[in-house]
Structure 1
Amino acid sequence: MKRKNLVNGMILAFSVILVRFIDVRVYDMPLILTLVLLMAMIYAGIRVVERFPALDEPVSKKVSYITNTLVIITIFLAFFVLEL
């Protein structure tokens, strides 16, 4: 697995958390606007990540498992603690 794949997963997770937080706590957005904003954030994040050639290097399975576990725990905690 490449570092780029891990970073793309983090972008996806944190974009969902941020958009959901904005939707629940700041401004009650219509569903279409929420989806468009989420897609735009994910697309922009992935485009930025593609510009860094250092992220094309491989990552060990141990590091990828740890990173994915931390991302899942962060998502769970964000939705649980922030009551999203």
Structure 2
Amino acid sequence: MKRKNLVNGMILAFSVIFIRFIDVRVYDMPLILTLALLMGLIYGGIRLVERFPALDEPVSKRTSLITNTLVIVTIFLAFFVLGL
């Protein structure tokens, strides 16, 4: 697995958390606007990641497992503890 794949997964997860936080705590957006902002944020993040050649290096299975576990724990904390 490449670093780029891990970063793309983090972008997906944190984009959902960020947009959901704005939708719940700051401004109650219509569903279409929420989805449009989410798609734009994910697309922009992934396009930004493609510009960094250092992210093409491989990652060990242990590092990949730890990173994915931390992302899942972060999603769990954001949605259940913070009430998103």
Distance between the aligned counterparts of 2:14 and 2:82, measured in 1? 14
**1:17-55: CA deviation from partner (whole Å, max 9, x where unpaired):** 000000000000000000000000000000000000000
Matched with 2:14 is 14
User: Counterpart of 1:77?
Assistant: 77
State the TM-score, normalized to the length of structure 1: 0.99
Q: What is the match of residue 25 of structure 1?
A: 25
What one-letter code is carried by the residue in structure 2 that aligns with 1:18? F
Identity of aligned residues (%): 86
2: CA distance between counterparts of 1:18 and 1:8?
A: 15
Partners of 1:7 and 1:81 in 2: how far apart? 24
Distance in 2, matches of 1:23 and 1:82, equals: 13
Give the Å deviation of 1:82.
Answer: 1.3
Q: Structure 2: which amino acid aligns with 1:66?
A: I
Alpha-carbon distance in structure 2 between the residues aligned to 1:69 and 1:56 = 21
Unaligned runs of 5+ in 1: none
Amino acid at match of 1:74: T
Distance 1:76 1:37 in 2: 22
| Structure 1 stretches of 4+ moved >4 Å | none
Deviation of 1:70 (Å): 0.3
Does the alignment pair 1:51 with 2:51?
yes
Shift of 1:81: 1.8
When the two structures are aligned, how many residues end up with a matched partner? 84
Task: Indicate the RMSD between aligned Cα atoms, in angstroms.
Answer: 0.4
TM-score using structure 2 length: 0.99
What 5-or-longer segments of structure 2 have no aligned partner?
none
Q: Which residue of 2 aligns with 1:64?
A: 64
